[in-house]
Amino acid sequence: MQDELRKLKGENIRLRSQLDDLLRSSGQAPTLDDSTTDEVAVAPSPQKIVDQDPEENEKILEIIKEVEEANKKVNKGKKKARVAQKKDERKATSTPKVKAEKKAAPKVKAEKKATPKVKAAKKATPKVKAEKK
């Protein structure tokens, strides 16, 4: 982006000097304002600006509100269906048979992993054998 900007500025300077040379050769003296300004003339936009009716804005807002309300109703229905489905799943898993299976299943505990500090501490401590009496 910076490179493009530098290139455009350089091209702008080159074209201005070329314009000055052409004006001098034709007998017209370049004006100070023409050669030193960096402002770009804004061309009129090709699109027409259409006047809007104030009532049209209100109608658009009403339509948007109606659509949002309809979406809320649909979302509420979907949410109720999801809640009902979750309740059904909970009921299915809370039957006595399922509960008995859960109790019967052995629980596996995760192995404890020694951290590097713990490993270093274990290596540093000497092992003492119990003396026989």
The two three-digit tokens of residue 15, written as one number:
């074209």
Distances, alpha carbon 116 to alpha carbons 123, 124, 126, in Å: 11, 12, 18
pLDDT value at residue 46: 75
H or E element in which residue 63 lies: helix 54-93
pLDDT tens digits, one per residue of 79-126: 888 888 888 888 777 666 666 676 666 666 666 666 777 677 777 666
- Residue 104 CA neighbour count, 13 Å, CB half: 6
CB 34 within 8 A of CB 15: no
Task: Please report which confidence band the pLDDT of residue 56 belongs to, taking 50, 70 and 90 as the band edges.
Answer: confident
pLDDT tens digits for range 1-44: 888 889 999 999 999 998 888 888 887 765 555 455 556 666 67
